[in-house]
Chain A
Amino acid sequence: MTSRDNRRLDLILAAGVFALIALPWYRIRSGFFSFEWLEDFISSEKLWPGLVQGLTGRWQLWPVLALLAVAVLLRFTQAPGKRGGALIAVGAAGLAWMLAEGLAIGLRGWNWGLLEATFGDVAGQQAFGAGAVVLGTLFALMIAFGAAERGALKGDAFVLGAITLLVLLVATFVFYPLVSMFTGAFQEFDGSFTSEGVRRNIVDPKIWSLACFWGGNCGVAWRTFFLAICTATGTTLLGLVFALVATRTGFRFKKSLRLLTVLPIITPPFVVGLALTMLLGRSGSLTQVIEAATGWELGRWLYGLTGIWIAQMLSFTPISFLVLIGVVDGISPSMEEASQTLRSDRWRTFRKVSLPLMAPGLANAFLIGFIESMADFGNPLVLGGSGGVLSTEIFFAVVGAQNDPSRAAVLAMVLLFFTLSAFLAQRLWLSGRNYATVTGKGDGGRHISLPRRVGWPVITVAVAWAAFTITVYAMILFGGFVKIWGLDHSLTLDHYAKAFGVGWDNGILWTGVAWDSFWTTMEIALIAAPLTAAVGLLTAWLIVRQRFPGRGVFEFALMMSFAIPGTVIGISYIMAFNLPPLQMTGTAAILIACFVFRNMPVGVRGGVAAMAQLDGSLDEASLTLGASSGRTMRKVILPLMRPAILAALVYSFVRAITSISAVIFLVSAKYNMATAYIVGLVENGEYGIAIAYSSVLILVMITVIGGFQLLVGERRIRRGEEKAANSSFSAKEARA
C-alpha cells in the first residue's frame, strides 16, 4: 500500500515540476497544440513557464511554487499514513490561490478598483495556459490522494481522483459560466458593479407585459411560456396517440411508425422550420395552391407563435412518442390481464387501469415537451418574424445592434427559471410515482389491444400526422434540387454543386462553400464524442457504484445541467470564457467543452441504466480477486457496457452535429460549425444551399445511426410478438 501511495504521489509531483519549468504558464494566442511556441520558448517572455515567471517578478505565482515545494517536502519526510491531511491542505490552498489570483489580476492589472487602491499597481497577466491548467489539475489530485492516504472511501485513489476531477470539471464548465452570467448582469463594461442594466430590464414591459389580455402584445416571457404550454400539451397528446398505435393496436404499419422516433435525433432543429416556410410561407407551395384556389391572401400568418408551434409539434412529437412508448410498454401486462379476469372489459380496463398507470409518464412527457419548447432556438429563429421568444431575444440582445449583455443575462435568467422549475417539478414531484417497470419476473403476457372506440380515432390521427411529417421531410429532400423555391421549380443540381463541389489540381480541391464548416463539424464532433462518453460513463459508474458523501447532490446537479437551455449555455460561456483567467472563445476547445458538458447527462443516464442491470457482485468479485477499481472498470465493467458506450458515442456525435442554440454563440471564423453556417445561409435567403446542406447532414447521420443499429441490434424486453424496436440508443432518449 505504502509504495503505491508514494508512487502515485511521485508521479504528480514530477508532473508538477515539469509543468513549472517546461510548459508555458500563460495562454498562447496561436494555440498550445500547434507547438509553434517551442521555437520562441526561450526568447519570448510571454511563453515562459511558471517558475521563470515567478522568478522574474510575478509574485502572484510564488505561493504556487511554495506549495509545490511543501508537497515535495512532505513526500520525503512523512510516511503516507501521516501526511494525508497536510496534502489535502496543500492541494486546497493551491487551487484556492490560483482561483483567487486568476480572478483578481486581469489583462491590465487588478480587476477591481478596491484591490488596486489597497495593494498598488500590478502587471497585467494573460489567461491560464498549459502550465497553469496542469498545475491546477495536480492540486486537485493532491486533495484526492491525500484523502486516499487518510483512508477515505476505503483508500481508493482512483475513485477519489475521478470524483475530484469531475467536480472540478463540472464546476468549471457548468457552474462557473452560470455564475459569470449572473455577475455579468451586474457589471459595467469595465467590470465595476452596477445594477442599472438589471433594473432597466427586469421591469421591461417588453418582457413582462400582460397586455395581450386586453388587446395589446404580451411580453416575451409570457409568450414563450404560453407557447411552451401549447407545445407540451400538443406533443404529449400526439405522442400518446403514436405510442398507443405502436404498442396497442394491430395497425399494419406500426413498425414503420417507430422510424419517426429517429427524426428529431437526426434533424438539425431549424430544418423543420425551414421546410414549413417552403410549404406554408408567403411563397410556399401549399400557400400558392390555396391562394390560387380561393383567391385569399394568406400573407405572413406562419411567422410568429403559430408557425413556431407547428414546427415544434413536428420536431418534438417524436420525442414525446419515444418517452411514452417506454411508459405504455413498461406497464406490466399482468395488470391489464388481472383487470380483465376481474370482469372488466377493455374499455374499463383502459380507463381504470392503463390510463392511471400512464399518468405519471404523461406528466413527464409534458414537462419534457415544455423544456424542449422553451429551449428551442432553431425554429423560432427561422419562423419568429418580429415576435420572437426568449431564446432568440437572448441571441439578438448580444449579436444585434443592441449589444446589451445585461439584457441577455436577465432574459437568460428568466428562461432558466422556467426550465429549472419544470425540471424540479419533474424530479421532485414525479419521482417515485412511476409505475412503469420492466420487471424481471417472467409473467408472460401481452398488452391488450385498445378498445375499439379508442383504437380507430387514434389510428386516424396518427396516420394523418405521420403523413404531414413525411410531407415536410419530403420537402427538405426535394427542396435542394429546385432552382428557386416558389418561383422557378425546374430541377437542378446547382445547390449541391455550390455547396459540395470538388475540383482537382494536383490533389483534391474542396471548392464547395460548405466543406469548410463540414469538416470542422466532423472533426469537433469526433473529438467530443469519445470525451462525452468517457466522462458520462465514468460519472455513471461513480454514481451507481460508489457511496461518497454528496453523491445525491452531485447527481442532481448533473441532471439539472440538462435543463439549462442551449442559449443560456451559449451566453454564459461567452461571459465566462472571453477574458482571463480562462479564455477560450474562438477556439475549438470551447466548442468541445460545450458539447461534452451539454451532452454528458445523457451519457450519465444511459450509463446509470446500463449499470443498474449489472449485478454489483461482479465488481465486488473483481475487487476481492485483487483487482483495483481502475482495473475492475477496464476489465469487467467496460466490456459489459459496450452497448451503452456505443450509444453514448453515437448520441454525442449526432448531437454535436445537429445542435445550434449554444453553438451559434461560440463559433468563430476559424471554427465554424455546419448548423451555424446554414443559419447564416437562411438569413441571407439562400434557401437552396441551406436545404441541400441540411439534407446532406441528415444523410450522414442516418448512415451513422443505421450503422450503429446494425452493430448493437434490437433489444428484447418481453416475450411474445412484441419486440422493442427501440434500441438502447433511443431508449436513452426515452428516459430523458
Chain B
Amino acid sequence: MGSYKYSSRAKDKTTFFSEIGNIAVFSGRTLRYTFSFPFEFREFLKQCYAIGNLSLGLVAITGAIMGIVLTIQSRPVLSDFGAEAMLPQMVAVSIVREIGPVITALICAGKVGSGMGAELGSMKVTEQIDAMEVSATLPIKYLVVTRVLAATLMVPILVVFADALGLLGSWVGTNIKGSVNIVLFFSHAFSSLDFIDLVPALIKSFFFGAVIGLIGCYKGYTAGKGTESVGVAANSAVVLSSLLIIIVDLVAVQITDLML
C-alpha cells in the first residue's frame, strides 16, 4: 500500500503572537474570498439589515446624549475664554472627527461583534459550520465574508447617523441655557466642518467596521468545543475588537495628521 504523510493540523495552543498570525491569515482568506464568485448577496443583505436594525436605537440614544453632554461640559471652559460663540463649531468638530466614529464603533463592537462571536461560535460547536462545508458551501464565504462586508458598510452609516444626532443633541444642549435658532446653530456648526474633518473620519469608520466583523467572525469561527466556548468567543470578540478600534483610531489620527 502506498503511504501518504500529511502535515499535522494546527496546534491548539495559542500564544499572543500565534493569535496575531492566525488573525492575519483569517483576514487574508476573507479578503481572497470576498473577490471570488459567486457572491452570497441575500445573506449579505440579511446581515446588513440585522446590523443596522440591531444598533440603530442604541447608536441614536448614545449619539444624542454625547452631543448634549459635550455641549454642557464645554460651555464653561469656552466662556472662560470669552469664546462661547465658538461652542457649535467646537462640538461639531469633536463629534464628527472623534466621538461619533469611536463611540459608535465601540457600541457596535459590543452589540454586533459579540453577536457574531456567539452566533458563529454556537454554529461551530453544534457542527453547523461542518454541515455547511459538507453541503459544498464555503462557510468562510457564506458566513464570514457577508458579515465582514455588512459590518464594513453599516458601521460608517451608523456613524453618520450618530454624528447627526450628536449635533442635534448639541443644539438641545445649547438651548438649556439661552436659546439658539436651530438654523443658526447648524450653519455655525457646518461652517467649521471641512472635508478634511469628514473624509478621514468616514474612512476610519470603514476600518472600524471591518475590525468588528473580522474579529467577531474570527472568534466565533475558531471557537473551541463545548458550550462554554460560545461565551468565551463572544466575550473575547468584544474585548479584542474594542482594543483594536482604539489602536486603529490612534494610527488613523497619526496618518491624518501627517497628511495635513
- Asked whether A and B interact, the reply is no
Write the residues of chain A forming the contact surface with B, with a CB cutoff of 8 angstroms: none
Write the residues of chain B forming the contact surface with A, with a CB cutoff of 8 angstroms: none
